Structure 1
Amino acid sequence: MLQAIGLTSMPRRDRPPAVDDLTFEAPPGAVTALLGSSGSGKTTALRLMLELEPGRGITYFRGRPLHRIAHPPREVGVLLGDVPGHPSRTLRGQLRMLCAATGAPASRAEALTRTVGLTGLERRRLGTLPIGADRRLGLACALLGAPHTLLLDEPGARLSVSESAWLYELLRAHAADGGTVLYTTEDPKDAARNADRVVTLDGGRLVADQGAAEFSRTRLRPRVAVRTPQAARLAEAVTQEARAARRPVEVVAEGGSRLSVYGSDCAAVGDTAFRHGVPVHRLAAETGDVGPAPRTVEGRSGDIGSASRTPQSHGSGASGAAASDAARAPVGAACGGAPTGGARRPARSPLRPLRYEIRRLLGVPSTSLVVAAVLLASVALALLLGRGGRVAVPAVLAGWPAISPLPPAALGAGLLGAFSFGEEYRYPALTSGRGAVPRRPGLLLAKLAVAAAVALVLGVVVVAADLEALRFVYGAELINVPKNWPTLCASWLGLIVGCAWAGVLGAGVFRAAAAGVAAVLAVPVAFVPLLQKVLTGPSVRSAAGFPARLREFVGPQWSPSVDRWLTGGLRVVGQPAGVALALMLTGLLCAYVLTGFRRKARW
């Protein structure tokens, strides 16, 4: 049972709210249509139910509000518009990535692919799918968690007749299994044909809540659709003959050459056109909408305002007064409090963040393209720098000319890190229209861990590729291993990982991949020159004796190997680039935490 109680959106400027005091129910085992013209508040009502829109009221899903449900994707499946996935990701990769987000096994993706009829399209890119396949994929994404309730916004829009028939057959099957289905539509005939109940909206308010049979009887009636180049002449002839025969016939001009004739049939209209010599290009029997119905609700007394403000209790455990109080409470107060009693705290999304992040990274071609570009650029720069013989070996192996602020490997790691959050905001597949990307510690740690692993692998592969290229072109005598190679390796890998983390946090804070890249470039361009002036000033003290003083404090337990590692670590961290990266990462992490507190995380 889905119960929407007193849903009211926040008015914008001086305009009335898009949804005003909306109360209705969608019973289990039935398909409910939320009917209304464009701008009537259908989509806003769905967003209010999902707690994505600021306003008042509350929605119960089988007696529980959304924030009290432990695993929302396993209770509510949502399809708001097209599938918001990366256009270069494959259909199979999209479903498997979302399986990790919802905690479902990967086999669930294969089963749903067969269920929704997408077998054979698993390797198709999302950007190349036709509208019918895209809508099937959206339903598969909504069904991943095996939810009880489906909320769908205009699922039949732009579909062919066969695709629409398949869609509503699937929704009917879900309802027959005991599930609840609520979808929005603008077509009254669609609602009468495919729904068990029809909830009609007009101007954001409830107009009627009826069974499909009652809706068809009161809102729809048969008509004859006519198209003729002499519409005015035919309308006058039909009206005159009906008046003479004293038959209740109504002729409505639909504009141009179209007429709608109510109270007659195709044979009578065709005979009239023949007798008056009027050419007819189209003559068909249809079912038409008679316009907004009176503001009454089936099974309730009084006007709609009193009915929606004093809802009845339907098995949710709340009294009518309590439901009325909940309807008047703002969403933040009625839905945002901490769970009490036996309520379970909602699970963090995604449920398997590390697996989700790995599949997100490997599922798009941009990852392999960036890695390939980094390797090619590094090898080319290493060969150019090694040809002259005047550049230090570490710079040659890193492919880092003096004119470049960062080596290609650091730029590539920062770019991949920026994509990790940038793609979440540009193609929000994780949330599927359910608000901002969740700012969960598990998701952030997974992105940082994967970014660090990719950066380490990229740093090692770049050095190995540059070394082999130099040996192949110039011979082995060019490479002389420095004595301080452990410190150089630590500095190199630390730079790569730091740039990757700066890209992740920068894109997470400012919600764009370009911001993550800008955070990476700000380190060598802005912070390092400033720190070089500060650290090389005459009044700067040295911490070179810190390991010896620490050895005296610890005593005989101090190991010489620890002394060497600590000294090397201080040399790495004490470099201007290391200090600048540490300051940048600290600032970005603090900004990420603060912005996470300010924005309410959605499931």
Structure 2
Amino acid sequence: MLQAIGLTSARHRGLQPAVDDLTFEAGPGCVTALLGAPGSGKTAALRLMLELDPGRGITYFRGRALHRVAQPAREVGVVLGDVPGHPVRTARGQLRMLCAAAGVPASRADELLDTVGLAGLGDQRIASLSPGMDRRLALASALLGDPHTLILDEPAEGLDAREADWLHGVLRSHAARGGTVLYTTSDAKEAARAAGRVAGRVVSIDGGRLVADQDVVEFARTRLRPRVAVRSPHAARLAAVVSREARAARRSVEVVTEASSSRLSVYGSSCAEIGDTAFRHGLPVHQLADEVGDTGPVVSHVVPGGPARRENGADGTGLSEAAAAGTGPDGPDPVGSRSAGSGPVGSRPDRAGLVGPGPDPGRAEGCSPAPDAAGPDLPPPIRRRPARGPLRPVRYELRRLFGVRTTALIMAVALVASAGISVLLARDGRTPLPNVLAAWPSLLPLPPAAICAGLLGALSFGDEFRYPALAAGRGTVPRRLGLLLAKLAVSAGVALLIALLVVVASAASLRLVYGGDLIRIPPNVISLGVSWSGLTVGCAWAGLLAAGVFRVTAAGVAAVLAVPVLMVPLVQRMPKAPTARSMTGLPGRLRELAWPHWPHETDRWVLAAMRVVAHPVGTALTLSLSVLICAYLFTSVRGRVRW
């Protein structure tokens, strides 16, 4: 059961809200179509239900608001637009990454690929999928958590008749198993066809307001009318002849000229009658076919001091038979619709979606709440909440990082470049061995390994903002502590792997080219190892945090390069005064203060870390990371306060 109560969009610069006090229900075992012309507020209503846009109102999914559902992916499946994934990622890789985000087994991806008919296209990239295949993948993404409710925005747009029929069959199957299906469409015939085999409803909106809420049988009877589509080069003359003969025979025939001057829509006649009339008058006919036409929404108007009356939309096709019967107090409503103003004066929808009493008329003057106060006369505010983080963040980050070939390509470039540079540096014999193994000449601000580690760190957040994958339609990455820690851990692990592989590749290259006499273990190998690891991990974290703050990959790469280019010269130019005291013996004093006493061998590691931080590059990198962490926390807090 889905209950949308009092949905109202936030006003922007005095404009009318896209959705205005919209209330309706979508029951289980039912396919509900949200019907409206383009710009009528269908997508805005869905975004309000999913708490993607600010406004007022509330939506209950089986009695709970979305932000109170512990695992939204297992309650609501959403399709808003195309699949939000990296274009070079495969369909199977995309689904497996989302499986880690939803907390379901990875085998669920292969099951859904078979369900949606993509079993043979699992290794195909997202960018190469056709619109129909892309929509199938989007539906598979929505079904990953086996949700009870499906919410889809224009799911059949751009699909051919065969793909649309398949999609409607999937929606009906989900509803037949007891699920709730709500989708938007601008085609009245599609709304009636999609729910034709199960108990379905059609909710019509216009200008963000509820126009009618009907079951599909009543909707088809009152909204869709049979007609004859005629195309003729003499359409105006044929329309006049058909109208004149209908008046002479006293038959109720309506002729409507379409936007094209050569096309007519004739209501109340048949193909045989129109063909005979055209033949008698010698008028050529290029098309003559039976169709089902849309008469437009039946809008309810309340006349002050009189009964309510209904009339059709502004398409000029006239009243339908049921709409012309009248819905005043002297007769029942043959349409069975519920309009936004169908309740008594002063009524409002209560929390259960029913019509409840309005404000107390005996309230003293001057005691009404402020317009923006959350009182009984206003629905509760809808706050724009960020997407939930993945339930398995480390697994999600690993699949996101290694699901594209970019990661392997960057690591291969780092290894090849480092091996070549190390061979060139060892040629003259003047470069120290640690710099040779790290492939760090004095001309480069950073070694290739550190630059590649920073690039992978920048892509960790940069690709998230460019190709959001955690939630459809949100466009941003949730600033969750678990996701941040997972990204920091995975990027650090990849940076350490690159650092180790670069040293091994450089040593192997030197041994191959110059023999094994050049390679020897230096006495301060621990300090050098800590320095080398800290440099690569620090660059990876700098790129990651900068991309998370500025939401672009280029900012992460710029932050990595700014450490040796800007921060190191600033650190070196700082005034150096003579020191009166020394920190000698600090590891021993720290060991005495710590509750779990670490072994004495740990002092060597602490001293090595202190020497790394004391180095100009280490100091610059530490300062940069401190600034980026503060900026990341500031943007996270500001985003939560704003919404």
Q: TM-score, normalised by structure 2?
A: 0.86
Q: CA 1:308 to 1:126, structure 2 compared with 1: closer, same or farther past 3 Å?
A: farther
Contact kept, 8 Å, 2:22 with 2:340, in 1: the verdict is: no
Q: Secondary structure of the residue that 2:141 maps to in structure 1? A: helix
Higher-helix-fraction structure? 1
Instruction: Give the alignment partner of residue 266 of structure 2, picking from 246, 249, 261.
Output: 261
Tell me the distance in 1 between the aligned counterparts of 2:272 and 2:242. 12
Residue 354 (str. 1) matches residue 391 (str. 2) = no
**Aligned residue in 1 for 2:484:** 444
Unaligned runs of 5+ in 2: 302-334, 360-373
Tell me the distance in 1 between the aligned counterparts of 2:339 and 2:599. 86
Per-residue CA deviation, residues 188-238 of structure 1 (Å, 9 max, x unaligned), is 111112231111111111111111111112222111112222222222222
**Aligned residue in 2 for 1:456:** 496
Deviation at 1:478, TM superposition (A): 3.0
Range with greater deviation from structure 2 (567-576 or 411-420): 567-576
Tell me the distance in 2 between the aligned counterparts of 1:545 and 1:65. 57
Q: CA 1:191 to 1:327, structure 2 compared with 1: closer, same or farther past 3 Å?
A: farther
Residue 74 (str. 1) matches residue 113 (str. 2) = no
Alignment of 1:548-587 (within 5 A): 550=588, 554=592, 561-587=601-627
Contact kept, 8 Å, 2:346 with 2:357, in 1: the verdict is: no
Instruction: Give the alignment partner of residue 213 of structure 2, picking from 175, 197, 209.
Output: 209
Deviation at 1:600, TM superposition (A): 3.9
Aligned residues: 588
Alignment of 1:124-523 (within 5 A): 124-195=124-195, 196-254=200-258, 255-295=260-300, 298=336, 303-304=341-342, 310-311=348-349, 314=352, 325=376, 328-332=379-383, 349-434=389-474, 436-523=476-563
Tell me the distance in 2 between the aligned counterparts of 1:176 and 1:52. 29
Deviation at 1:111, TM superposition (A): 1.3
Tell me the distance in 2 between the aligned counterparts of 1:251 and 1:11. 41
Q: Secondary structure of the residue that 2:227 maps to in structure 1? A: strand
Contact kept, 8 Å, 2:9 with 2:54, in 1: the verdict is: yes
**Aligned residue in 2 for 1:104:** 104
**Aligned residue in 2 for 1:340:** none
Contact kept, 8 Å, 1:29 with 1:175, in 2: the verdict is: yes
**Aligned residue in 2 for 1:342:** none
Q: Identity, % of aligned pairs?
A: 61
Deviation at 1:132, TM superposition (A): 1.0
Deviation at 1:349, TM superposition (A): 2.3
Tell me the distance in 2 between the aligned counterparts of 1:7 and 1:221. 32
Q: Secondary structure of the residue that 2:52 maps to in structure 1? A: coil
Unaligned runs of 5+ in 1: 337-345
Deviation at 1:311, TM superposition (A): 2.1
Q: CA 1:191 to 1:302, structure 2 compared with 1: closer, same or farther past 3 Å?
A: closer
Residue 12 (str. 1) matches residue 12 (str. 2) = yes
Tell me the distance in 1 between the aligned counterparts of 2:55 and 2:206. 18
Q: CA 1:55 to 1:313, structure 2 compared with 1: closer, same or farther past 3 Å?
A: closer
Contact kept, 8 Å, 1:421 with 1:508, in 2: the verdict is: yes
Tell me the distance in 2 between the aligned counterparts of 1:91 and 1:36. 32
Q: Secondary structure of the residue that 1:15 maps to in structure 2? A: coil
Residue 94 (str. 1) matches residue 98 (str. 2) = no
Tell me the distance in 2 between the aligned counterparts of 1:140 and 1:204. 30
Relative contact order: is structure 1 or structure 2 higher (C-alpha 8 Å, sep ≥ 6)? Answer: 1
Q: Secondary structure of the residue that 1:546 maps to in structure 2? A: coil
Tell me the distance in 1 between the aligned counterparts of 2:618 and 2:287. 78
Range with greater deviation from structure 2 (571-580 or 300-309): 300-309
Contact kept, 8 Å, 1:22 with 1:308, in 2: the verdict is: no
Per-residue CA deviation, residues 493-513 of structure 1 (Å, 9 max, x unaligned), is 100000111111111111111
Q: Secondary structure of the residue that 1:285 maps to in structure 2? A: strand
Instruction: Give the alignment partner of residue 584 of structure 2, picking from 546, 559, 565.
Output: 546
Per-residue CA deviation, residues 305-332 of structure 1 (Å, 9 max, x unaligned), is 769962256499x977799938522224
Contact kept, 8 Å, 1:506 with 1:519, in 2: the verdict is: yes
Tell me the distance in 2 between the aligned counterparts of 1:452 and 1:385. 27
**Aligned residue in 1 for 2:332:** none
Q: CA 1:298 to 1:311, structure 2 compared with 1: closer, same or farther past 3 Å?
A: farther
**Aligned residue in 1 for 2:316:** none
Tell me the distance in 1 between the aligned counterparts of 2:448 and 2:352. 63
Q: CA 1:516 to 1:307, structure 2 compared with 1: closer, same or farther past 3 Å?
A: farther
**Aligned residue in 2 for 1:49:** 49
Amino acid at match of 1:375: L
Q: CA 1:253 to 1:454, structure 2 compared with 1: closer, same or farther past 3 Å?
A: same
Q: Secondary structure of the residue that 2:119 maps to in structure 1? A: coil
**Aligned residue in 2 for 1:343:** none
Range with greater deviation from structure 2 (145-154 or 108-117): 108-117
Per-residue CA deviation, residues 260-318 of structure 1 (Å, 9 max, x unaligned), is 111111111122222222222221111111123123794658834769962256499x9
Deviation at 1:562, TM superposition (A): 4.0
Q: CA RMSD in A?
A: 2.7
Range with greater deviation from structure 2 (562-571 or 26-35): 562-571
Q: CA 1:303 to 1:393, structure 2 compared with 1: closer, same or farther past 3 Å?
A: same
Q: CA 1:305 to 1:494, structure 2 compared with 1: closer, same or farther past 3 Å?
A: farther
Deviation at 1:542, TM superposition (A): 7.6
Q: CA 1:552 to 1:357, structure 2 compared with 1: closer, same or farther past 3 Å?
A: closer
Contact kept, 8 Å, 2:5 with 2:353, in 1: the verdict is: no
Contact kept, 8 Å, 2:229 with 2:265, in 1: the verdict is: yes
Contact kept, 8 Å, 2:425 with 2:441, in 1: the verdict is: yes
Q: CA 1:307 to 1:75, structure 2 compared with 1: closer, same or farther past 3 Å?
A: farther
**Aligned residue in 1 for 2:63:** 63
Per-residue CA deviation, residues 370-393 of structure 1 (Å, 9 max, x unaligned), is 111111211222222222222222
Per-residue CA deviation, residues 37-66 of structure 1 (Å, 9 max, x unaligned), is 110000000000011111111101111111
Amino acid at match of 1:256: S
Q: Secondary structure of the residue that 2:517 maps to in structure 1? A: helix
Q: CA 1:309 to 1:21, structure 2 compared with 1: closer, same or farther past 3 Å?
A: farther
Deviation at 1:248, TM superposition (A): 1.6
